[in-house]
Structure 1
Amino acid sequence: MADRITANLPSRDFAATEAFYARLGFARAFRGDGWMILRRGDLVLEFFPHPEIDKRTSWFSACARVDDMAGLLAQWQQVGLPQDEKSIPRLTGIFKPGQAPRMFALVDEDGSLLRVIDNIDAGEIDSGGAA
């Protein structure tokens, strides 16, 4: 198995978090009282209980690097999440902040930010190019 890292994000309610991410194609890999793991192919998200998290002030985030960013975005757009700048949850379109790779962003129901980064565009950074 290749080295990997997975995100650890808060969940106010495991059932609600699991239902939200199921709409995006994630399935339960594990769920106990104090931990939940959801998987969508090679994308793995792990959650811990945090019932008092304020979704409007949450600072939790993670990055997912994918080969077909546009294809994944098209699939997730079918869910019908809001695309404005203030809704929680919400989904953005593709953008490129400065010299960073192209990406889109998902904010989940608990206010956690998931940046979905284009592997192809990130190649310059991963190989030691300017960031």
Structure 2
Amino acid sequence: MANETTIPLLPCRSVDDVAPFYQALGFEVTYRQERPNPYVTLRREDLHLHFFGVPQFDPADSYGSCLVLVDDLVDIHSAFADGMRATYGKVLVSGVPRMTRPRPRRNQEGHFGFSIVDPGGNWIRFVGRATPPETDDRGGLARTLHNAVVQGDSRGNPAQAARILDGALGRPEADDDPAVRVEALVYRAELALQLDEPESARELVRQARSIPLDDGARDALADTLRHAEDLIAGLPPA
């Protein structure tokens, strides 16, 4: 057998919700019908996603998911982020739909990945084929951050992820690598938005900004620091 193609078929409340969202990410609608059943097919290069509408469907109850292996994880995440900024004025980081950041997945043999949670509540999980260097030996906060990511990004449990991080972040800053602490604070701010705690998110970003960094660390954290600004961009002025 050769040249087989597998296409996920995922539920949603309305194809009118999912189609514009994926179009913002650079997908095109290749087929659509309303009767006898709502159905839409979307394509972005070699990635195909199909959706069927269920009028009484609750996205919060969705178990829909699929795994997408990509060569350049950062590039596709950046393209999705740019599409969100152009369409919504910001990167969607809380609620449904939303997108997580590329981070190491400790529960997936060190793979690097991010997730899209679409308007149907489906988790489209993007994983890079290359395995990034292991970073756990930077210290306790780095390991704690990885554990929090498993709960928040992989299992969709931001409350548990926040609890995991809060204890570690309560330790004196001198115990941590400053760059890791910035990563942890920014991720905790992202979780705060998911938990509908905007003022906590704003304060956590303020703390991340206040940590002294040398030029090398600041360059390495450029994406994280930009993400921090994305997190609070849509919040009303303090």
TM-score, structure 2 as length reference:
0.47
The percentage of counterpart residues that share the same residue type is 27
1:73-120 Cα offsets, whole Å, 9 max, x none, are 011112133224xx1111100122221521100101121110011123
Alignment of 1:1-131 (within 5 A): 2-33=3-34, 34=37, 35-78=39-82, 79=84, 80-84=90-94, 87-98=95-106, 99-121=109-131
Q: Distance in 1 between matches of 2:21 and 2:55?
A: 16
- The amino acid across from 1:51 in the alignment is P
C-alpha contact (below 8 Å) 2:13/2:59 kept by paired residues: no
- The amino acid across from 2:42 in the alignment is L
Give the helix-richer structure, 1 or 2.
Answer: 2
Q: Distance in 2 between matches of 1:100 and 1:4?
A: 27
Residue 38 of structure 1, CA deviation: 0.3
Q: Distance in 2 between matches of 1:20 and 1:81?
A: 12
C-alpha contact (below 8 Å) 1:81/1:89 kept by paired residues: no
- Point out which structure has higher relative CO (alpha carbons under 8 A, 6+ apart): 1
Residue 61 of structure 1, CA deviation: 0.7
C-alpha contact (below 8 Å) 1:62/1:115 kept by paired residues: yes
Q: Distance in 2 between matches of 1:100 and 1:74?
A: 21
Q: Distance in 2 between matches of 1:82 and 1:32?
A: 28
Aligned match of 1:127: none
Give the strand-richer structure, 1 or 2.
Answer: 1
CA RMSD of aligned residues (A): 1.8
Total equivalences in the alignment: 120
**Gaps in structure 1 of 5+ consecutive residues:** 122-131
Q: Distance in 1 between matches of 2:30 and 2:15?
A: 13
More divergent stretch after superposition (106-115 vs 73-82): 73-82
C-alpha contact (below 8 Å) 2:12/2:121 kept by paired residues: no
Q: Distance in 1 between matches of 2:125 and 2:41?
A: 18
Aligned match of 1:125: none
- The amino acid across from 2:105 in the alignment is P
Aligned match of 2:144: none
1:39-80 Cα offsets, whole Å, 9 max, x none, are 000000011112222122211111111111100101111213
TM-score, structure 1 as length reference:
0.82
